[in-house]
Structure 1
Protein backbone atom coordinates (compact mmCIF):
# COMPACT_ATOMS: atom_id res chain seq x y z
CA UNK A 1 0.00 0.00 0.00
CA UNK A 2 2.81 2.45 0.87
CA UNK A 3 4.55 1.65 -2.42
CA UNK A 4 1.31 2.28 -4.33
CA UNK A 5 0.83 5.67 -2.67
CA UNK A 6 4.42 6.72 -3.37
CA UNK A 7 4.17 5.63 -6.98
CA UNK A 8 0.87 7.48 -7.46
CA UNK A 9 2.52 10.71 -6.27
CA UNK A 10 5.75 10.25 -8.19
CA UNK A 11 7.85 9.78 -5.06
CA UNK A 12 11.05 7.79 -5.44
CA UNK A 13 10.86 5.09 -2.80
CA UNK A 14 12.08 1.77 -1.44
CA UNK A 15 9.80 -0.21 0.86
CA UNK A 16 10.97 -3.06 3.09
CA UNK A 17 8.28 -5.05 4.92
CA UNK A 18 8.54 -7.39 7.89
CA UNK A 19 6.04 -9.53 9.75
CA UNK A 20 7.58 -9.72 13.21
CA UNK A 21 6.47 -12.25 15.79
CA UNK A 22 9.69 -12.96 17.66
CA UNK A 23 10.97 -10.94 20.61
CA UNK A 24 14.61 -11.13 19.51
CA UNK A 25 14.04 -10.03 15.90
CA UNK A 26 16.26 -6.96 15.45
CA UNK A 27 16.06 -6.82 11.64
CA UNK A 28 13.56 -3.94 11.49
CA UNK A 29 15.68 -1.64 13.67
CA UNK A 30 18.83 -2.27 11.65
CA UNK A 31 17.06 -1.95 8.30
CA UNK A 32 15.30 1.26 9.31
CA UNK A 33 18.61 3.09 9.72
CA UNK A 34 18.73 3.61 5.96
CA UNK A 35 15.03 4.49 5.55
CA UNK A 36 13.27 7.80 6.19
CA UNK A 37 10.38 6.38 8.18
CA UNK A 38 9.12 3.14 9.74
CA UNK A 39 5.40 2.42 9.92
CA UNK A 40 3.98 -0.02 12.48
CA UNK A 41 0.38 -1.06 13.03
CA UNK A 42 -0.36 -1.50 16.73
CA UNK A 43 -3.35 -3.03 18.45
CA UNK A 44 -4.05 -2.78 22.17
CA UNK A 45 -2.26 -5.61 23.98
CA UNK A 46 -0.05 -6.55 21.01
CA UNK A 47 3.25 -7.14 22.81
CA UNK A 48 5.16 -8.23 19.70
CA UNK A 49 4.29 -5.07 17.78
CA UNK A 50 5.09 -2.91 20.78
CA UNK A 51 8.52 -4.51 21.15
CA UNK A 52 9.07 -3.80 17.45
CA UNK A 53 8.20 -0.15 18.07
CA UNK A 54 10.69 -0.07 20.94
CA UNK A 55 13.44 -1.61 18.81
CA UNK A 56 12.76 0.84 15.99
CA UNK A 57 12.64 3.89 18.26
CA UNK A 58 15.82 3.04 20.16
CA UNK A 59 17.69 1.07 17.53
CA UNK A 60 17.21 2.89 14.24
CA UNK A 61 17.82 6.58 14.89
CA UNK A 62 14.84 7.26 12.61
CA UNK A 63 11.23 8.29 13.31
CA UNK A 64 8.50 5.67 13.70
CA UNK A 65 4.88 6.21 12.68
CA UNK A 66 2.59 4.09 14.86
CA UNK A 67 -0.90 3.58 13.46
CA UNK A 68 -3.70 2.18 15.64
CA UNK A 69 -4.87 -1.14 14.23
CA UNK A 70 -8.43 0.14 14.58
CA UNK A 71 -7.81 2.99 12.15
CA UNK A 72 -9.46 2.38 8.80
CA UNK A 73 -9.42 5.89 7.35
CA UNK A 74 -6.32 7.23 5.55
CA UNK A 75 -4.02 9.37 7.67
CA UNK A 76 -4.60 13.06 7.05
CA UNK A 77 -2.66 15.98 8.49
CA UNK A 78 -5.32 18.60 9.06
CA UNK A 79 -4.14 19.12 12.61
CA UNK A 80 -1.06 17.79 14.40
CA UNK A 81 -0.24 17.96 18.12
CA UNK A 82 3.41 18.05 19.23
CA UNK A 83 4.03 16.94 22.83
CA UNK A 84 6.85 19.26 23.88
CA UNK A 85 8.96 19.33 27.04
CA UNK A 86 12.11 21.10 25.77
CA UNK A 87 14.20 17.92 26.15
CA UNK A 88 16.83 16.56 23.77
CA UNK A 89 14.61 13.70 22.52
CA UNK A 90 11.77 16.17 21.91
CA UNK A 91 14.12 18.47 19.98
CA UNK A 92 15.45 15.64 17.80
CA UNK A 93 11.94 14.39 17.12
CA UNK A 94 10.80 17.89 16.19
CA UNK A 95 13.58 18.15 13.64
CA UNK A 96 12.94 14.67 12.20
CA UNK A 97 9.22 15.44 11.94
CA UNK A 98 9.67 18.67 9.96
CA UNK A 99 8.82 17.17 6.53
CA UNK A 100 5.52 15.87 7.92
CA UNK A 101 4.74 18.98 9.97
CA UNK A 102 5.17 21.15 6.88
CA UNK A 103 2.20 19.29 5.34
CA UNK A 104 -0.14 20.07 8.25
CA UNK A 105 -2.79 22.78 8.17
CA UNK A 106 -2.20 23.53 11.87
CA UNK A 107 0.31 22.33 14.44
CA UNK A 108 -0.27 22.76 18.18
CA UNK A 109 2.88 22.61 20.32
CA UNK A 110 1.61 21.47 23.71
CA UNK A 111 3.52 21.56 26.98
CA UNK A 112 2.23 20.12 30.25
CA UNK A 113 3.31 22.43 33.09
CA UNK A 114 4.48 19.90 35.67
CA UNK A 115 6.99 22.24 37.30
CA UNK A 116 10.01 20.71 35.56
CA UNK A 117 12.74 23.17 34.64
CA UNK A 118 12.93 21.99 31.02
CA UNK A 119 9.24 22.60 30.43
CA UNK A 120 9.38 26.15 31.81
CA UNK A 121 6.90 28.79 30.66
CA UNK A 122 7.78 29.95 27.17
CA UNK A 123 9.29 26.67 25.98
CA UNK A 124 6.24 25.81 23.86
CA UNK A 125 6.42 29.28 22.34
CA UNK A 126 10.10 28.79 21.52
CA UNK A 127 9.36 25.46 19.80
CA UNK A 128 6.45 27.00 17.88
CA UNK A 129 8.68 29.88 16.77
CA UNK A 130 11.28 27.36 15.54
CA UNK A 131 8.61 25.59 13.48
CA UNK A 132 7.26 28.86 12.07
CA UNK A 133 10.75 29.73 10.85
CA UNK A 134 10.51 26.56 8.77
CA UNK A 135 7.12 27.46 7.36
CA UNK A 136 5.04 25.34 9.75
CA UNK A 137 1.76 26.90 10.98
CA UNK A 138 2.57 26.29 14.66
CA UNK A 139 0.78 27.55 17.78
CA UNK A 140 1.99 27.13 21.39
CA UNK A 141 -0.18 25.93 24.24
CA UNK A 142 0.56 25.13 27.89
CA UNK A 143 -1.71 22.83 29.90
CA UNK A 144 -2.02 22.61 33.65
CA UNK A 145 -2.13 19.11 35.20
CA UNK A 146 -5.71 18.02 35.86
CA UNK A 147 -5.19 14.76 37.76
CA UNK A 148 -5.02 12.46 34.76
CA UNK A 149 -1.83 10.69 33.75
CA UNK A 150 0.24 13.14 31.67
CA UNK A 151 0.11 10.88 28.62
CA UNK A 152 -3.65 10.48 28.88
CA UNK A 153 -4.16 14.22 29.32
CA UNK A 154 -2.04 15.04 26.27
CA UNK A 155 -3.69 12.44 24.04
CA UNK A 156 -7.24 13.22 25.14
CA UNK A 157 -6.60 16.94 24.65
CA UNK A 158 -5.26 16.27 21.16
CA UNK A 159 -8.29 14.15 20.30
CA UNK A 160 -10.75 16.68 21.67
CA UNK A 161 -9.22 19.35 19.44
CA UNK A 162 -9.39 17.20 16.32
CA UNK A 163 -5.74 16.21 15.99
CA UNK A 164 -4.99 13.52 13.41
CA UNK A 165 -1.44 12.86 14.62
CA UNK A 166 0.65 13.30 17.77
CA UNK A 167 4.42 13.82 17.63
CA UNK A 168 6.50 12.97 20.70
CA UNK A 169 10.04 12.17 21.75
CA UNK A 170 10.91 8.99 23.66
CA UNK A 171 13.59 8.77 26.33
CA UNK A 172 16.56 6.58 27.08
CA UNK A 173 18.35 3.62 25.49
CA UNK A 174 17.37 0.00 24.77
CA UNK A 175 18.71 -1.03 28.17
CA UNK A 176 16.14 1.06 30.00
CA UNK A 177 13.30 1.17 27.50
CA UNK A 178 10.86 -0.45 29.92
CA UNK A 179 11.54 2.45 32.30
CA UNK A 180 11.27 4.91 29.45
CA UNK A 181 7.92 3.61 28.31
CA UNK A 182 6.63 3.89 31.85
CA UNK A 183 5.81 7.54 31.11
CA UNK A 184 3.93 9.48 28.47
CA UNK A 185 5.07 7.29 25.58
CA UNK A 186 4.05 4.09 27.34
CA UNK A 187 0.57 5.50 27.98
CA UNK A 188 0.26 6.39 24.31
CA UNK A 189 1.31 2.90 23.19
CA UNK A 190 -0.69 0.86 25.70
CA UNK A 191 -4.00 1.95 24.20
CA UNK A 192 -3.26 3.27 20.70
CA UNK A 193 -6.15 5.51 19.69
CA UNK A 194 -4.27 8.27 17.87
CA UNK A 195 -1.53 7.94 15.23
CA UNK A 196 1.86 8.72 16.77
CA UNK A 197 5.16 9.83 15.31
CA UNK A 198 7.87 8.85 17.80
CA UNK A 199 11.65 9.16 17.81
CA UNK A 200 14.50 9.17 20.33
Structure 2
Protein backbone atom coordinates (compact mmCIF):
# COMPACT_ATOMS: atom_id res chain seq x y z
CA UNK A 1 0.00 0.00 0.00
CA UNK A 2 2.12 2.80 -1.37
CA UNK A 3 -0.38 5.65 -1.16
CA UNK A 4 -1.95 6.06 2.29
CA UNK A 5 -4.69 8.69 2.74
CA UNK A 6 -4.89 9.73 6.40
CA UNK A 7 -7.81 11.75 7.79
CA UNK A 8 -6.60 14.55 10.07
CA UNK A 9 -9.04 15.81 12.72
CA UNK A 10 -9.38 16.53 16.43
CA UNK A 11 -11.13 13.28 17.39
CA UNK A 12 -9.81 10.99 20.13
CA UNK A 13 -8.38 8.42 17.72
CA UNK A 14 -6.13 10.87 15.84
CA UNK A 15 -2.88 9.78 17.54
CA UNK A 16 -3.71 6.10 17.13
CA UNK A 17 -4.43 6.27 13.40
CA UNK A 18 -1.35 8.41 12.77
CA UNK A 19 0.76 5.70 14.37
CA UNK A 20 -0.99 2.98 12.37
CA UNK A 21 -0.43 4.96 9.15
CA UNK A 22 3.27 5.17 10.02
CA UNK A 23 3.41 1.41 10.71
CA UNK A 24 1.83 0.61 7.34
CA UNK A 25 4.05 3.09 5.50
CA UNK A 26 7.18 1.52 6.98
CA UNK A 27 6.03 -2.01 6.18
CA UNK A 28 5.10 -1.24 2.57
CA UNK A 29 7.54 1.60 1.79
CA UNK A 30 4.49 3.79 1.43
CA UNK A 31 3.74 7.51 1.38
CA UNK A 32 1.26 9.21 3.74
CA UNK A 33 -1.00 11.99 2.48
CA UNK A 34 -2.44 13.88 5.44
CA UNK A 35 -5.78 15.41 4.49
CA UNK A 36 -7.23 18.05 6.80
CA UNK A 37 -10.68 19.27 5.77
CA UNK A 38 -11.80 22.46 7.49
CA UNK A 39 -15.32 23.88 7.28
CA UNK A 40 -16.43 27.18 8.79
CA UNK A 41 -20.11 26.38 8.49
CA UNK A 42 -21.47 26.56 12.03
CA UNK A 43 -25.12 25.85 12.74
CA UNK A 44 -26.60 28.07 15.41
CA UNK A 45 -30.42 28.34 15.68
CA UNK A 46 -31.56 31.95 15.53
CA UNK A 47 -28.22 33.26 14.27
CA UNK A 48 -29.84 35.27 11.46
CA UNK A 49 -26.94 37.71 11.08
CA UNK A 50 -24.12 35.17 11.17
CA UNK A 51 -22.56 36.43 14.41
CA UNK A 52 -21.96 32.88 15.70
CA UNK A 53 -20.19 31.92 12.48
CA UNK A 54 -18.07 35.06 12.62
CA UNK A 55 -17.06 34.32 16.21
CA UNK A 56 -16.30 30.67 15.49
CA UNK A 57 -14.13 31.13 12.40
CA UNK A 58 -10.97 32.37 14.16
CA UNK A 59 -11.21 29.57 16.73
CA UNK A 60 -11.70 26.88 14.07
CA UNK A 61 -8.75 28.25 12.09
CA UNK A 62 -6.50 28.44 15.15
CA UNK A 63 -7.34 24.87 16.20
CA UNK A 64 -6.72 23.56 12.69
CA UNK A 65 -3.34 25.30 12.48
CA UNK A 66 -2.34 24.00 15.91
CA UNK A 67 -3.21 20.42 14.97
CA UNK A 68 -1.26 20.74 11.73
CA UNK A 69 1.80 22.10 13.54
CA UNK A 70 1.72 19.31 16.13
CA UNK A 71 1.26 16.57 13.53
CA UNK A 72 3.92 17.91 11.18
CA UNK A 73 6.37 18.20 14.07
CA UNK A 74 5.90 14.49 14.78
CA UNK A 75 6.12 13.44 11.14
CA UNK A 76 9.40 15.30 10.66
CA UNK A 77 11.14 12.77 12.92
CA UNK A 78 9.53 9.56 11.66
CA UNK A 79 11.58 8.94 8.51
CA UNK A 80 8.47 8.30 6.39
CA UNK A 81 7.61 10.31 3.23
CA UNK A 82 4.49 12.43 3.59
CA UNK A 83 2.68 15.48 2.30
CA UNK A 84 -0.05 17.70 3.70
CA UNK A 85 -3.30 18.86 2.10
CA UNK A 86 -5.36 21.51 3.84
CA UNK A 87 -8.68 21.86 2.05
CA UNK A 88 -11.93 23.68 2.68
CA UNK A 89 -15.12 21.63 2.98
CA UNK A 90 -16.60 18.73 4.87
CA UNK A 91 -14.43 15.66 5.37
CA UNK A 92 -16.52 13.02 3.54
CA UNK A 93 -16.53 14.99 0.29
CA UNK A 94 -12.85 15.89 0.39
CA UNK A 95 -11.69 12.39 1.34
CA UNK A 96 -13.81 10.87 -1.43
CA UNK A 97 -12.33 13.30 -3.94
CA UNK A 98 -8.81 12.26 -2.94
CA UNK A 99 -9.47 8.52 -2.64
CA UNK A 100 -9.21 7.40 -6.32
CA UNK A 101 -5.41 7.74 -6.22
CA UNK A 102 -5.01 6.19 -2.77
CA UNK A 103 -4.52 2.55 -1.84
CA UNK A 104 -6.20 2.85 1.56
CA UNK A 105 -8.04 5.48 3.62
CA UNK A 106 -7.44 5.55 7.39
CA UNK A 107 -10.18 6.94 9.65
CA UNK A 108 -11.22 6.98 13.28
CA UNK A 109 -14.44 5.30 14.42
CA UNK A 110 -16.01 8.52 15.78
CA UNK A 111 -16.00 11.98 14.24
CA UNK A 112 -14.77 14.95 16.25
CA UNK A 113 -17.56 16.52 18.27
CA UNK A 114 -19.83 13.45 18.19
CA UNK A 115 -20.63 10.95 20.92
CA UNK A 116 -19.78 7.26 20.72
CA UNK A 117 -23.24 5.82 20.08
CA UNK A 118 -23.37 4.04 16.78
CA UNK A 119 -20.95 4.00 13.86
CA UNK A 120 -19.56 7.13 12.26
CA UNK A 121 -21.43 8.55 9.27
CA UNK A 122 -18.03 9.47 7.84
CA UNK A 123 -16.91 5.84 7.91
CA UNK A 124 -20.16 4.72 6.28
CA UNK A 125 -19.85 7.28 3.48
CA UNK A 126 -16.26 6.30 2.70
CA UNK A 127 -16.86 2.54 2.89
CA UNK A 128 -19.85 2.75 0.57
CA UNK A 129 -18.43 5.21 -1.96
CA UNK A 130 -14.63 5.16 -1.97
CA UNK A 131 -12.96 2.89 -4.56
CA UNK A 132 -10.40 1.72 -1.98
CA UNK A 133 -10.53 -0.08 1.38
CA UNK A 134 -11.12 1.86 4.59
CA UNK A 135 -9.13 1.11 7.75
CA UNK A 136 -10.93 2.11 10.96
CA UNK A 137 -8.59 2.59 13.91
CA UNK A 138 -9.97 2.85 17.48
CA UNK A 139 -8.30 5.24 19.90
CA UNK A 140 -6.85 2.49 22.10
CA UNK A 141 -4.98 0.87 19.19
CA UNK A 142 -1.46 1.87 20.12
CA UNK A 143 0.12 0.60 16.91
CA UNK A 144 -0.29 -1.96 14.14
CA UNK A 145 2.14 -4.85 14.11
CA UNK A 146 1.83 -5.89 10.48
CA UNK A 147 3.64 -9.13 11.25
CA UNK A 148 1.02 -10.17 13.84
CA UNK A 149 -1.76 -12.67 13.08
CA UNK A 150 -4.75 -11.31 11.12
CA UNK A 151 -8.31 -12.56 10.84
CA UNK A 152 -10.60 -12.30 7.82
CA UNK A 153 -14.32 -12.44 8.64
CA UNK A 154 -15.81 -14.51 5.83
CA UNK A 155 -19.47 -14.95 4.90
CA UNK A 156 -19.03 -15.89 1.25
CA UNK A 157 -20.36 -12.56 -0.04
CA UNK A 158 -18.93 -10.37 -2.76
CA UNK A 159 -18.24 -7.74 -0.08
CA UNK A 160 -16.08 -10.22 1.83
CA UNK A 161 -14.25 -11.08 -1.39
CA UNK A 162 -13.62 -7.39 -2.10
CA UNK A 163 -12.21 -6.90 1.41
CA UNK A 164 -9.99 -9.97 1.10
CA UNK A 165 -8.57 -8.77 -2.21
CA UNK A 166 -8.00 -5.24 -0.89
CA UNK A 167 -6.20 -6.53 2.21
CA UNK A 168 -3.64 -8.69 0.36
CA UNK A 169 -0.70 -6.26 0.84
CA UNK A 170 -1.24 -6.35 4.61
CA UNK A 171 -2.13 -10.04 4.83
CA UNK A 172 1.13 -10.81 3.04
CA UNK A 173 3.02 -9.30 6.00
CA UNK A 174 1.18 -11.38 8.62
CA UNK A 175 2.75 -14.39 10.29
CA UNK A 176 -0.63 -16.19 10.26
CA UNK A 177 -3.91 -15.50 8.46
CA UNK A 178 -7.20 -17.03 9.58
CA UNK A 179 -10.22 -17.16 7.29
CA UNK A 180 -13.11 -17.41 9.74
CA UNK A 181 -16.83 -17.84 9.18
CA UNK A 182 -19.56 -18.00 11.80
CA UNK A 183 -21.91 -20.96 11.46
CA UNK A 184 -25.59 -20.01 11.60
CA UNK A 185 -27.63 -23.22 11.41
CA UNK A 186 -30.95 -21.42 11.71
CA UNK A 187 -30.31 -19.28 8.65
CA UNK A 188 -29.93 -20.19 5.03
CA UNK A 189 -26.22 -19.96 4.34
CA UNK A 190 -25.09 -17.48 1.73
CA UNK A 191 -21.89 -18.68 0.15
CA UNK A 192 -21.44 -17.14 -3.26
CA UNK A 193 -17.75 -17.77 -2.59
CA UNK A 194 -16.98 -20.72 -0.27
CA UNK A 195 -14.08 -20.40 2.16
CA UNK A 196 -11.97 -22.67 -0.03
CA UNK A 197 -12.21 -20.15 -2.86
CA UNK A 198 -10.94 -17.40 -0.59
CA UNK A 199 -8.06 -19.62 0.52
CA UNK A 200 -7.18 -20.42 -3.10
CA UNK A 201 -7.10 -16.73 -3.94
CA UNK A 202 -4.71 -16.04 -1.08
CA UNK A 203 -2.50 -18.98 -2.03
CA UNK A 204 -1.98 -17.47 -5.48
CA UNK A 205 -0.46 -14.49 -3.70
CA UNK A 206 1.78 -16.74 -1.63
CA UNK A 207 -0.35 -16.41 1.51
CA UNK A 208 -1.27 -19.53 3.48
CA UNK A 209 -4.33 -19.35 5.68
CA UNK A 210 -6.20 -21.44 8.23
CA UNK A 211 -9.89 -22.04 7.49
CA UNK A 212 -12.07 -21.95 10.59
CA UNK A 213 -15.83 -22.26 11.11
CA UNK A 214 -16.94 -20.93 14.47
CA UNK A 215 -20.20 -21.98 16.16
CA UNK A 216 -22.54 -19.01 16.56
CA UNK A 217 -23.62 -19.66 20.13
CA UNK A 218 -25.51 -16.92 21.98
CA UNK A 219 -23.13 -14.07 21.18
CA UNK A 220 -23.54 -11.75 18.22
CA UNK A 221 -21.54 -12.39 15.07
CA UNK A 222 -19.50 -9.27 15.79
CA UNK A 223 -18.61 -10.42 19.30
CA UNK A 224 -17.88 -13.94 18.05
CA UNK A 225 -15.43 -12.64 15.46
CA UNK A 226 -13.77 -10.26 17.91
CA UNK A 227 -13.36 -13.12 20.40
CA UNK A 228 -11.86 -15.36 17.72
CA UNK A 229 -9.43 -12.61 16.73
CA UNK A 230 -8.41 -11.91 20.32
CA UNK A 231 -7.86 -15.61 21.06
CA UNK A 232 -5.44 -15.70 18.12
CA UNK A 233 -3.76 -12.45 19.21
CA UNK A 234 -4.66 -10.77 15.93
CA UNK A 235 -3.66 -7.20 15.25
CA UNK A 236 -6.11 -6.62 12.39
CA UNK A 237 -9.54 -7.79 11.26
CA UNK A 238 -10.64 -7.75 7.63
CA UNK A 239 -14.30 -7.90 6.61
CA UNK A 240 -16.81 -6.95 3.96
CA UNK A 241 -19.11 -4.10 4.94
CA UNK A 242 -22.85 -3.52 4.55
CA UNK A 243 -23.81 -6.77 2.89
CA UNK A 244 -27.41 -5.68 3.33
CA UNK A 245 -28.39 -2.12 2.50
CA UNK A 246 -26.89 0.53 4.72
CA UNK A 247 -30.37 1.77 5.61
CA UNK A 248 -31.32 -1.71 6.81
CA UNK A 249 -28.16 -1.82 8.93
CA UNK A 250 -29.06 1.52 10.51
CA UNK A 251 -32.67 0.58 11.21
CA UNK A 252 -32.31 -3.05 12.17
CA UNK A 253 -28.71 -3.37 13.19
CA UNK A 254 -26.18 -5.59 11.52
CA UNK A 255 -22.68 -7.02 11.77
CA UNK A 256 -21.02 -3.93 10.25
CA UNK A 257 -22.92 -1.57 12.53
CA UNK A 258 -22.05 -3.57 15.65
CA UNK A 259 -18.41 -3.88 14.61
CA UNK A 260 -18.04 -0.15 14.11
CA UNK A 261 -19.99 0.88 17.19
CA UNK A 262 -17.36 -0.60 19.50
CA UNK A 263 -14.32 -1.67 17.47
CA UNK A 264 -11.88 -3.66 19.55
CA UNK A 265 -9.01 -3.53 17.04
CA UNK A 266 -8.24 -1.96 13.67
CA UNK A 267 -10.75 -3.15 11.04
CA UNK A 268 -10.18 -3.04 7.30
CA UNK A 269 -13.48 -2.70 5.43
CA UNK A 270 -14.54 -2.85 1.81
CA UNK A 271 -17.98 -2.94 0.20
Asked if structure 2 preserves the Cα contact closer than 8 Å seen for 1:42 and 1:66, the reply is yes
**Deviation for aligned residue 1:70:** 1.4
The 5 Å alignment of 1:25-174 reads 25-43=92-110, 45-46=115-116, 50-115=120-185, 116-119=188-191, 123-171=194-242
Cα distance in 2 between the residues matched to 1:87 and 1:169: 8
**Deviation for aligned residue 1:74:** 3.9
Answering whether residue 33 of structure 2 is matched by residue 15 of structure 1, we say: yes
**Deviation for aligned residue 1:14:** 5.1
Cα distance in 2 between the residues matched to 1:161 and 1:9: 21
**Deviation for aligned residue 1:180:** 3.4
Asked if structure 1 preserves the Cα contact closer than 8 Å seen for 2:27 and 2:146, the reply is no
> Residue by residue, what CA displacement relative to the aligned partner does 1:46-73 show, whole Å, maximum 9, x if unpaired?
4798111111101112101111111223
Cα distance in 2 between the residues matched to 1:17 and 1:154: 32
Cα distance in 1 between the residues matched to 2:93 and 2:107: 14
Cα distance in 1 between the residues matched to 2:106 and 2:214: 29
Secondary structure of 2:242's counterpart equals coil
More RCO (CA 8 Å, sep 6+): 1
Choose 84-93 or 2-11, whichever is displaced more. 2-11
Asked if structure 2 preserves the Cα contact closer than 8 Å seen for 1:113 and 1:119, the reply is no
Relative to structure 1, is the Cα distance of residues 6 and 198 closer, same or farther in structure 2, using a 3 angstrom cutoff? Answer: closer
Equivalent in the alignment of 2:248: 179
Choose 132-141 or 4-13, whichever is displaced more. 4-13
What 5-or-longer segments of structure 2 have no aligned partner?
A: 1-17, 42-89
Cα distance in 2 between the residues matched to 1:53 and 1:127: 25
Relative to structure 1, is the Cα distance of residues 114 and 12 closer, same or farther in structure 2, using a 3 angstrom cutoff? Answer: closer
Larger radius of gyration: 2
**Deviation for aligned residue 1:101:** 0.9
**Deviation for aligned residue 1:189:** 0.6
Return the TM-score normalized by structure 2. Answer: 0.63
The size of the alignment, in residue pairs, is 197
Cα distance in 1 between the residues matched to 2:135 and 2:122: 12
